Structure 1
Amino acid sequence: MPGPDPEDRGSVLLDLYLALSRRMTGVAGWQLKRRQARGKEDAARLPERLGRTEVPRPDGPLVWFHAASVGESLSILELLRRLLDSRPDLHALITTGTRSSAALLGPRLPDRCLHQFVPVDALPAVQSFLDHWKPDLAVWTESEFWPALMHETRARGIPMLLVNARLSARSRNRWRRLSGLSRHLLGGFDYVLAQDATTCSYLKELGVSEERIEVTGTLKEGSAPLGCDDDAFRLLSRALSGRRVWLAASTHAGEEEPVLAAHRIARRQYPNLLLVLAPRHPERGDEVAELIAGQGWNMARRSEGALPDMHTEVYLADTLGEMGLWFRLAAVSFIGGSLADIGGHNPFEPAALGSAILTGPHVDNFRDAFARFEEAGAALTVTDGATLGAALADTLQPEVAAAMASAAWDASSAGAAVTDRALKLLLDHLPEPV
């Protein structure tokens, strides 16, 4: 006898999930309190995670963007600005799930845009959130899919778009085991803009119909260059007095050791070389500082307000929101999350600010982008501290760094078309202005 139909099985799974979700408010509240105790939730804004807020809904049409965390939220800022410029009658709401994203977004949000923490996926919290905000359009980014939130949004007839979609092989395999459920959820998107052909094929396999998806590239290509504080840039430039500087950006546990080994190798050729070491998570600052000090480096810490002097060998940039500053100061940038098996981080940010790019091999999150950069001579792949050190010493030669930075700029400069396409899609799914 044939097994149960995947669609029927998916419907049953969704019904079971929603039944559980209706009863999860108490458990969610307990989990949020635990996260708050660990510093992962903002106590003053905890009600937002349960769908409650004292912030009034603005009058007129409202577009709701959901972005999981820092990278996703920053990638849509240029799209958000252009959308609000195009429609003066619009307001926008952006939801994220992390304190770091809220801290970074606050000063960067354009007028007529609000931030809230996304509600937990308990149905009462989701319903409270949607009852209050009543969005006219819901825009998901990348691949954070919460079943109750997606189901309830679709059930209310709110158009749903997925932009900048990216799905890893690991996530695709998890969803394949729930293929019926994925078809219920992903089939609810009115249209999808995928970053690459691989994501496109995965999403079609999981339930997005052929006529509702296209490959455009990543919005991170079309994002405005990261900003920086002009006074801080001038102050640091004076403190560095023309020294060669390289950056290890967004490093993760296990990557600082090979970065420091590479720094030691490169300093044989460039004795005055300064490393700016910027951990992905600044709360790891004490741990990284202990490692640096344990190896005998002369170190200064950004979080303590210290500036590097001529004796500083490693400058620990354990702060949030200053990556635009470091990319401007560094001739060469190693992009972390790539020696550790994290999936890599955004290469378009250093490319937009004139920094040559080095990376490890684990770049699944940006594989197409890094392949394009390497083909253009804009990036080099390394495998460990020794190869990073050798590549760094070579790339620090002014003519090599300049050629790679120029190639990176050329390879990324076509990105404005990605934002143009996303903007048109959003405008096409909004009600006409009154």
Structure 2
Amino acid sequence: MAGAQPGLPHASGRDTEEWHEELIRLAGSAAFDASVASVASEAVRRCHAGLLTVREMRLVLLATGDASGWASARRVVIEALAANQEMAWQVLVMHSQLEVWPPPKFLTQQAPAGAGPGTTGRVTFGPAGSQVTGPAERALSRPEAKARAALALLAWLAGVTVPGQERAGGCEVDRLALPGMVTEVFDQCLRQALAAADGPGQELEEELRRRARAGRLRHRDMYLLLFDARGEAWAEVRTAALERAASMPPAAARLLHWHAEHHGEEDGVTYEESPSDAEGRHQVRVHLQAERAWTGPARTAWSRKTARHYAACALLAEVSGLPEPTAPVKDEPERAKRITLPAQPEDSVKYLNKHHQRGAISKLKASVRAVGARWECAYSCWHTATGAPVLATATGQGKIQARQAAALELLHKLCSLESPERTVPAPNGQDRPRAALEVPRSFRTGTQ
């Protein structure tokens, strides 16, 4: 039942994928017109044929409105789940994952006196702080009791009765409500509101606030709000989106990258980093090339990553036309990342790149040129802990040998920076004190 067959014709000639998209589009519709009625009847047909997926069951049960046509579809889905009760738990798990909720829990409880052997329990389900608990169900085994409890809760949320538990007169149960919109319905409402160029409206605005408070705004939601929404009516929820991005590094940088890519700039975000100041703090500003060139204000932090995040938040606020948010992220001096030398016969260039990945040195710059019958390679970088520029040059019979020798020479010079009093063995076996370190004038003046 859980696996739909791709390409299965819809009653009106549309295939499975097209119908699925139509279900997403119309599931949250307040009206029940001919289009919605067609989708509801197709859901019934697919369910009877065993072709409704778990995700589609979830939409029918938990996203559809209270119109009688949808109620009939929900009843048919519950009947199908009653014949395969383990799938009811799968529906709850999938919904929790897609909504970024805590996973459902099966809570056992003491059985009534004289109940005999077996397990009794209920299922708790929903967003943190607003969870609901379903009816108690009992079965001989724990897995069976869990499946029955999941089905009972789903039926309550769908506003229908479990087969075999019908009420006198055929009355359905009052539908148990969970707070907020189902994600697919939220997506539709947000895009429709943006396309209409109006404000979000009360219901959507409340949902946006709810998702922002709970940390459930996704990157794509934040991007739409910051770069597509305009007007005073959107100001509050756009500010909430920016604050959310500021609280979850590196979200601000990712949104800037997306904005650059949207304008055809694959490498449109770059960082300008200054050497650490006297207290060891990092100063960073971000450059963005998108619909035009942007240069953000410099921001300082103890941690290099935090300084980058602060700078990205500042530029994101500027580009989106909002006040700069406070980024509630941890900032403290980084632990020193010591430079170590490679063991033979490890590749010196790869070893140097590992130190860059660890943040111990800046991105490497290299140049190679022919010198007579030999090759000369020069490597340069900044040492993160001290902010010192370092350059090393070496020669070899070929390009590879020259690169390896220059990389090893640079590693030795970097090691000498970390312990001024000690000496480190030079590549030729002679000891070289730190005072012998030579830095070219271009590095001493601060250019890289």
TM-score scaled to structure 2, two decimals?
A: 0.25
Q: TM-score, normalised by structure 1?
A: 0.26
Select the structure that is richer in helix. Answer: 1
Larger Rg computed on CA atoms: 2
